[in-house]
Structure 1
Amino acid sequence: MASAPLAAQDSEAPPALEDLIPDSAVENPEDWAGQGTEGEEASDNNDAPDPDTPIELPEGIDMPWPSDIEIDDVEPLQAEEEIEFADLDLGRAQLDLEEAETVRLNGNLVLGFPQTEPPFSERGDFLLRYEALSTIENLQDEDASIAQLVARAREDEELLGNLLRVYGYYDGQVIRSIGALQPGDEAASETPTVRFDVIPGNRYRFGAIDLGNLDQAPDYEDLRASFGITSGDFLQSDTIVQEQFALDRRLGETGYAFAAINEPSLLIDHEREEGDLTLEVEPGGKYVFGEVVSSDPKFLSGKHLGTIARFEPGETYQRSLSMDLRRAVTATGLVSSVSVTPREVTPPQGNQPGVVDMDVELERAKLRTISGAIGYGSEEGIRVQASWEHRNLFPPEGLLRVRGIIGTREQLAGVTFRRNNFGGRDQVLTIDAYASAQDTVAYDANTVAVTGSYERLSTLLFQKPLSWSVGALVLASDERNRVIGGVPRPRQTYLVGAVFGRATIDTTDSLLDPTQGFRVTGFLAPSTARTAGDQFYYLPNQVDASYYQSVSSGVIAAGRVRYSSIIGAPLFAIAPSRRLYAGGGASVRGYGYQAIGPKNDFGEPTGGRSLVEASVEARIETGFFDGAVSVVPFFDLGAVSIEETPDFRFVKYGAGVGLRYDTGFGPIRVDVGVPLNPDPDDAPVGVYVSLGQAF
């Protein structure tokens, strides 16, 4: 059989991997590895080249061994004494890390300030802000661990960098280090601590300032002066916000009803170390007020809303007066929502301002209310009170209220008509008619009365430096002193007519909880009374004054005095219900209501024709419930005299302590008073609860 011819083999081809591995390596790889390469004996692995023996060079290369190289002596350079090296001012902050001033904020946190020049000009305010925002500052020392500090240190490092930029230090650096306090430290321990070295660098300044189209306003100079940033001022982002607000307020208060200001833009140039500020301002034109237009004229007419407003047509538009109108409409209690929007009626022309009407969009609230209360008092007994009212039965703001009281010592039925904002803002017309029967510790009176008054009120929303009221009263009352032990007293009928006036000057900072200022109130009520077949004329009068002063942090000192008298008629000619009495929570604490003053043979208070009262107290914050609770020690005195001028024969003193809880609306008052010179019938202690301070 013929065999197939073999293919020709390339003499240049590289050998295959199998050809390079001999059979002996496969059969016994360990022996083969120790044989060395073919043609050589295994070398000793410990043989090493001698470092002192020159290496044989390949043919064609001739290089001397280093020991054979000769180097000529080099002459050293001589310093030239005439050369002076100047200190280069590269504009960088000068640092002294070793001698850095440090501030320890707590056991875990230290701030270092190594920069000496330029000085850190905003350092104090910077520290206060950092303390308020720091996550490490809020970490309790005993709860701190390295892991917690590391996590919070990253946040605080970023916070410090942001705060530096707020003050215009755009090249500032913060160096963070974490470890244990070293021995010798003022708070030395093994407590882990974080140290931040704050290097503010140079503070940037404002460069170019672009206020958009503000220069097109006719009173540009005045408006520009209200924006208190100029080129070259130190840069601070807070200042931008404050001055933007100041400019916006100035625009809104000088007639620019439709002014608009866009968000500010600050371009930082690190080479110039300046920031260019752009604030796009579109002032629009100037306007004056037009009419007030109501969206529901049958409910609250535009004419009535115009009497509430504190502006007249033709006056320069002021945004604050627009907002004030909105608050006043809300304060009526007749609306659930309200908005006040200026609407252009006539555009500005040349130097003449335009006119804007004020559109009042409102929604009606629920107008009917039924209310009631049940209570008990040691001086009043059981008392049940209820009322129904419609707050806009006679638009605009004509209220009708029907009320009644059933109690062990008082019964009453009455009806009241009241018109709010009558003839002006917070001016109220009231007509009230009632029939009542009262049995107090001093008298038993059955009365029918009609009272009318017109007053300017000071309210919680709009406290006024001057408030006043005038009015008239007509009543018929059948009265006697109380019956004690079954001994009857003769009843006496009084027909009384009076006109009255009251005025209050108020400089305090709150109606319910004043901390500074004073109040003075004067009252006069020329009266006439017919009783027992005779006509009598007399003049009730009263002056109240109170003063409030902060004497230290969290301590308010308060004091009051009252003087009252009835001039011109004997005591029997004055109805017992209209005489002067003292005692109780709003008078001399520690004594019962009407318990102070002259008494008859049966121990009944008869009332008097003159009265003097005085009180002092200290309102001391305790810190409990976030400062809402205060302790109030107090001292009161009072005297009632039968004569027209006080004779101080029946002076009583009371003292005690109270608690106040600040609700945000006003304090809840609980006072416990003790009579210091009681009569035999006086209780050993008096407790009083009410809303608001005692005076």
Structure 2
Amino acid sequence: MAAGQENLPNEAAQPAAGDLRGQTLDDLIPESAVENAEDWASREEEAPSQPVVVDPAPVSDPLDPLQDTPSSFDLDEALDRLDIAEPEKLAPDADRPSFADIDAPTLVDLPDLVEVEISDQLILAFPAEVARFPEEERFIARFRALSAIEALGTGEDTVPQLAARARSDEDLLAAMLRNYGYYSGEIIRQLSGGRRGFADEAERGDEPAADRDPKVRFDVLPGAQYTFGRVDLGALDRLNQEKRSPLVDAFGIAVGDPVYADTIVAGESRLRLALGENGYPFGQLGEPDLLIDHSREEGDLTLPVDPGGQFVFGQVVSDDPDFLSGRHLGRIARFDPGDLYKTSLQADLRRAILATGLVSSVAITPRAVTTPSGDNEPGEVALDVAIERAPLRTISGAVGYGTEDGFKLEAGWEHRNLFPPEGALRLRGIVGTREQLASVTFRRSNFRGRDQILSVDAFASDIETEAVDARTVALRGSFERVSNLLFQKPLSWQLGAELVYSDERNRVTDGITRPRQEYLIAGVFGRATIDGSDDLLDPRQGYRISFFAEPEFSRSLSENSPYLRARVDASYYQPVGGTVIAARVAAATVVGADLLDVAPSRRLYSGGGGSVRGYGFQAIGPRNAFDEPEGGRSLLEAAVEARIPTGFLDGAIEVVPFFDLGSISSAARPNFDVVRAGAGIGIRYKTSFGPIRVDVGVPLNPAPTDAPVVVYVSLGQAF
């Protein structure tokens, strides 16, 4: 066989490569195959009668890398012979934009960021320009309280949880952005350090490749802040301008305000309250709906409101009129029939009924009596009061010992509604070393008005104090308007009269008995208190001024002695940081009679827990030849103390250093014959009903009979 020739099997015979280059598809597929494709495909091929001889001279292809290239190969000539047809130019499609018409995408313009380190593992980054996110401080404070990572703490055992909590915090930050109206904001989370396999490597004792101190950083990109587009308050918009304005103003959301989710909740609460405060007891609010429109960057708020008509107060109706009548409850109320309905006044009535101590529960329900007629004729509501009686009888007792009083046994019985409404009867008795007493008291609370008290007290006593030994029978009555914990009044007052029979003398000392002297005393008295303080039992700021005057007529040893007792007390409270500086001054006088014409029990004394601490009760004053305090006709007192808070028991403990000063004179004007000073330190334990006071006082210039240390325990501040 000649070189360059190859015999091919009959079934695989193919035309020579040189013969195929000029043939077309029509040459290879005959016309008969097109007309009847199935017959042509199924026919048996006839073997060629003679083998095909391949041209021994192969065609040289300069582009074939497997073919040997002659040394005289010319690349430029080969490229010239390579003929590539130029493609036809495509016609533009009218329905498709050209590349020139398509704007190139703009890259995000990231603002400059400032990092805020929340914890060792958590960092937030905010725009450096404050105007981009003015809510940053509130945002951070809220995030600290809600963050899953912040609650995680630090330590190697917390690292595997960091990634999961980072995803949770990412969702939290996005939700918080929407809460402040940034609905197009973006949160970018970055977690530094590896974390996979950390626990496994640690268990094997291997040195882990992961970062042992990973950190999470969130870039907070607020974007545009959305504002309220439309605010629809339902039927509220159909009210006239005069009635609608206070309700809309209370809601406090207007078109153009930032879309704060918190303001919607707060506005709903304010509107509900405003409806009740403007005469709409049956107003109803539906669920708020906020529709966000990203194209306008606005939110449309819809809050269905049905005012339900405006009403005024009618009658108060009690479901137990024999116990507390509707008429009496109407006197307790701070409104009159015809006044515009207010939820706050209804709530105040409920608190006042509870404050009587006669009921255990109260429910007040407004009931429409007449319906509104037009815009100017409100309807009328009656208040149905359902009460449940509380236990009315109280038995009390106490046993104690004091350095001033000795042993004391006290018992009491009280019925708080024996004479309805609110007519109480109290029996009280004391048996002790220095005091014996029996008293009966009638007291009617809320007498003909709120916080007005009528009381009559009859008692007999035998009392021995540091200065006086007196046996007394007295009848005393008063009518007062009081200030209480429920409603602290700027002005409270008391008017009263008393009739006293007393058989008394100065205290018996060293076995020497002084003669007793009988006194019959009648007087009328008045008291007024101006209260500008911020708390009744524990004031921290403000002032109080109290005035007392009582003209008296005394008859003893067939001698008549008219005189006037008067007193002024003033106190001032000023906070300095967390400490309260409190100061007090007092002045009193007895004018119109000589000292010996005034019964010893009606003279002026100083000393004790509410006076000059460090001294016994009534232990300060001029003394007679037996070294007994005999009292005086003028008094001056001053005190200052610092109420310093501590961190003990969640701040319930205060430490109180104090300094007190007192002077008693025999004359009607102070002459400073006797001046005593005391100092010490006290503890206050704050409770829900006022501070419990424990003071330890030391006399600075004591008399020979004064104790070196005196302890006082009571409820409330010293002044």
Same fold (TM over 0.5): yes
1:193 Cα deviation after fit: 3.9
Counterpart AA for 2:324: L
Who is 2:701 aligned against? Answer: 677
- Is 1:217–1:285's contact at 8 Å kept on the other side of the alignment? no
Who is 1:500 aligned against? Answer: 525
Who is 1:634 aligned against? Answer: 658
- 1:368-379 map, 5 Å: 368-379=393-404
**From 229, 233, 237, the counterpart of 1:215:** 237
Distance in structure 2 (CA, Å) of the matches to 1:226 and 1:634: 48
Distance in structure 2 (CA, Å) of the matches to 1:122 and 1:89: 31
Q: Is the partner of 1:271 in helix, strand or coil?
A: coil
- Consecutive unaligned residues of structure 1, counting only runs of 5 or more, are 1-50, 56-64, 73-83, 182-188
Q: Is the partner of 1:525 in helix, strand or coil?
A: strand
Who is 1:529 aligned against? Answer: 554
Distance in structure 2 (CA, Å) of the matches to 1:87 and 1:532: 118
1:486 Cα deviation after fit: 0.6
**From 449, 456, 461, the counterpart of 1:431:** 456
Who is 2:542 aligned against? Answer: 517
- Is 1:100–1:114's contact at 8 Å kept on the other side of the alignment? yes
Who is 1:95 aligned against? Answer: 110
Distance in structure 1 (CA, Å) of the matches to 2:334 and 2:357: 19
CA gap 1:645/1:116 in 2 versus in 1, 3 angstroms: closer
Distance in structure 2 (CA, Å) of the matches to 1:512 and 1:606: 33
Who is 2:280 aligned against? Answer: 256
Who is 1:237 aligned against? Answer: 261
Who is 1:299 aligned against? Answer: 323
**From 351, 367, 376, the counterpart of 1:343:** 367
**From 263, 270, 286, the counterpart of 1:246:** 270
CA gap 1:672/1:147 in 2 versus in 1, 3 angstroms: farther
- Is 2:409–2:430's contact at 8 Å kept on the other side of the alignment? yes
Distance in structure 1 (CA, Å) of the matches to 2:649 and 2:80: 90
Distance in structure 2 (CA, Å) of the matches to 1:584 and 1:95: 74
Who is 1:473 aligned against? Answer: 498
1:93 Cα deviation after fit: 7.5
Counterpart AA for 2:391: K
Q: Does 1:161 align with 2:174?
A: yes
CA gap 1:655/1:112 in 2 versus in 1, 3 angstroms: same
Q: Is the partner of 2:362 in helix, strand or coil?
A: strand
Distance in structure 2 (CA, Å) of the matches to 1:142 and 1:539: 78
1:253 Cα deviation after fit: 1.7
1:151 Cα deviation after fit: 5.4
1:121 Cα deviation after fit: 1.5
Instruction: Answer with 565-574 or 194-203: which moved more.
Output: 194-203
Distance in structure 2 (CA, Å) of the matches to 1:190 and 1:579: 82
1:143 Cα deviation after fit: 8.8
More helix by share: 2
**From 465, 477, 484, the counterpart of 1:459:** 484
Who is 2:137 aligned against? Answer: 124
RMSD: 2.9
CA gap 1:100/1:190 in 2 versus in 1, 3 angstroms: farther
Counterpart AA for 1:464: K
1:170 Cα deviation after fit: 1.9
- Is 2:156–2:212's contact at 8 Å kept on the other side of the alignment? no
- Is 1:144–1:192's contact at 8 Å kept on the other side of the alignment? no
**From 185, 188, 191, the counterpart of 1:172:** 185
1:389 Cα deviation after fit: 0.6
1:85 Cα deviation after fit: 14
- Is 2:622–2:631's contact at 8 Å kept on the other side of the alignment? yes
Distance in structure 1 (CA, Å) of the matches to 2:306 and 2:464: 70
Q: Is the partner of 1:453 in helix, strand or coil?
A: strand
Distance in structure 1 (CA, Å) of the matches to 2:528 and 2:643: 27
Who is 2:421 aligned against? Answer: 396
1:258 Cα deviation after fit: 1.1
Q: Does 1:687 align with 2:678?
A: no
Who is 1:41 aligned against? Answer: none
Who is 1:417 aligned against? Answer: 442
TM-score computed with the length of structure 1 as normaliser: 0.83
Counterpart AA for 2:544: R
Instruction: Answer with 658-667 or 394-403: which moved more.
Output: 658-667
Q: Does 1:557 align with 2:559?
A: no
Instruction: Answer with 235-244 or 376-385: which moved more.
Output: 235-244
Counterpart AA for 2:138: D
Distance in structure 2 (CA, Å) of the matches to 1:561 and 1:621: 24
Who is 1:204 aligned against? Answer: 226
TM-score computed with the length of structure 2 as normaliser: 0.81
Q: Does 1:313 align with 2:337?
A: yes
Instruction: Answer with 487-496 or 661-670: which moved more.
Output: 661-670
Counterpart AA for 2:479: Y
CA gap 1:573/1:215 in 2 versus in 1, 3 angstroms: same
CA gap 1:436/1:157 in 2 versus in 1, 3 angstroms: farther
CA gap 1:260/1:68 in 2 versus in 1, 3 angstroms: farther
The structure whose Rg is larger is 2
Q: Is the partner of 1:474 in helix, strand or coil?
A: strand
The CA deviation string for residues 236-290 of structure 1, in whole angstroms up to 9 with x for no partner, is 1121122222322222122112111122121222232221111110011111111
Who is 2:516 aligned against? Answer: 491
Distance in structure 2 (CA, Å) of the matches to 1:623 and 1:136: 29
**From 615, 618, 622, the counterpart of 1:591:** 615
CA gap 1:675/1:94 in 2 versus in 1, 3 angstroms: farther
Counterpart AA for 2:289: S
- Is 1:214–1:283's contact at 8 Å kept on the other side of the alignment? yes
Who is 1:146 aligned against? Answer: 159
Distance in structure 2 (CA, Å) of the matches to 1:439 and 1:209: 76
1:197 Cα deviation after fit: 2.3
Q: Is the partner of 1:391 in helix, strand or coil?
A: strand
Distance in structure 2 (CA, Å) of the matches to 1:151 and 1:493: 90
- Consecutive unaligned residues of structure 2, counting only runs of 5 or more, are 1-63, 69-77, 86-99, 195-210
Distance in structure 2 (CA, Å) of the matches to 1:536 and 1:575: 10
Q: Does 1:618 align with 2:642?
A: yes
The CA deviation string for residues 123-175 of structure 1, in whole angstroms up to 9 with x for no partner, is 12222222344454456557983245445544443433332222111223333
**From 302, 308, 329, the counterpart of 2:353:** 329
The CA deviation string for residues 73-119 of structure 1, in whole angstroms up to 9 with x for no partner, is xxxxxxxxxxx9999998x98424xx521122343432211475961
Instruction: Answer with 264-273 or 558-567: which moved more.
Output: 264-273
Q: Is the partner of 2:518 in helix, strand or coil?
A: strand
Who is 1:12 aligned against? Answer: none
Distance in structure 1 (CA, Å) of the matches to 2:79 and 2:409: 120
